Structure 1
Amino acid sequence: MLLDSEVTEKKFSVEEIRQLAAALGFPRNTLSKAIITKENEEDGISVKEFLKCCDERYFHQTLNFTFNLKSGAYNTQVLRRSIVLLANQLSFKQLEDVRVSYQMHEDYDQQGMRIDESTLIRTLKLCGLVVSPQKLMNRIRHLKATYKQKDRIQLYEFLDLLRWCELMSKQNLRYENVLSTKQSSHNVYMLDDFKEVITPRHKKILQILNERYQHQELLHEEPKLNSEKFTDHPIPPDTFEY
């Protein structure tokens, strides 16, 4: 997937705005009746115009503590992330899957989903997405300072993680089963790697993505500092003599 987070010039029709509301669990006309007028009904609304409506609190009152018991400000943040992701090739079905999967794993106190590697990976798996666990946790570690709650992740923060995810359906595994009757050159029967056989496909994919991520990190060159090493300028032995 590897979506871009930049704002595009794409326009959304009235029907697409209704689909956005439905994908997030709201009544279909919730958003369109607040921003669609006779002037823009035919041309639709651009991403920048939609984000401006979010900034001007068009949806705060309408989306305040609805079915998901979240404030209008919270739901507006979700809208902002969603419209940008949709403009960058995310489908309405994928957005709905992400929202439903997140709500399934959110704690009952409605304070967000706990930041736990296995929970995050399982949530993405239900959406048909996958990412290197090491890469995921490193990204969260860098973003954690901006989170509303340090040990929880909100839906709009979870949507930010999608830019690093890949589709599960596009992951290929190269593994050939060895026939039970196949023999080696020394007339020894060849067997399958038992560990390879019993390891679930999803776990194999995670291992491959981790290896790929580690390889990518190793490709980065060592940073060159402007200052020279401290050892190049040792302190003279008589510096501290009195």
Structure 2
Amino acid sequence: MTTKDRFNYLTFSDWNAMYHFITSEGDLYNPFLNKYAFTYNNDGAICVYDVTPAEAVELVEQSVENHELWSAFLGTGGQILDNDSLDRNNEQYLAVSYEFCKENYNKVGWMRTDDFFQDSYTRKFIKYQATDAQKKYLGQAIKIHDYCEMSILFDYTDDVHYDLLTSALAEIAETDEKFMIRLENALSVESYIALKDVIPDNEILRNYMEDGIEHMQSILSEN
């Protein structure tokens, strides 16, 4: 079973559901893991590329312009998850693809590629205005932004939110590497909430994170 939550993230009941989605329904991207996964061949092998959110923005632009999947614009560097030394009818041929899904099906952040940054203003900010330092922390900015309650998100358009968040994160990364590692590894609602007492002394970041943590706590209490 596959369900879709309020952030356009997909939640898979088990590894097989994730594998079935990739091979039967569509390509997946995770901006927190920097992973893009798609079907490589008709025998069911998956291919995975490391793609940062900033790179994914370029793929979105190319995909929209040319009406093609992201995979059409990638060169060498992907990892084909199969055992090519075996006959493709051998049940172990796809074991590596299965293993990838077993390790990643329960990680937060998986979404259809069609759901990633459809807002053109945000894409333009990332492509033309964001500094390299801001682009580096875009994945974590997406996480913080998406956990926020809607009231704080109405204050600005998304491109302004990402400008503020990535700037704050780039500044914090220079002095608090330990926090940045914890934020990067917060791949569940519970682990994100656990950051409540270690948020750095940065007004912008604290406003967003405290709002998001409070929001997630209220959602969990209702369930």
TM-score, with structure 2 as normaliser: 0.27
User: When you count strand as a share of all residues, which structure comes out higher?
Assistant: 2
Higher helix share goes to which structure? Answer: 2
Higher Rg of the two aligned structures: 1
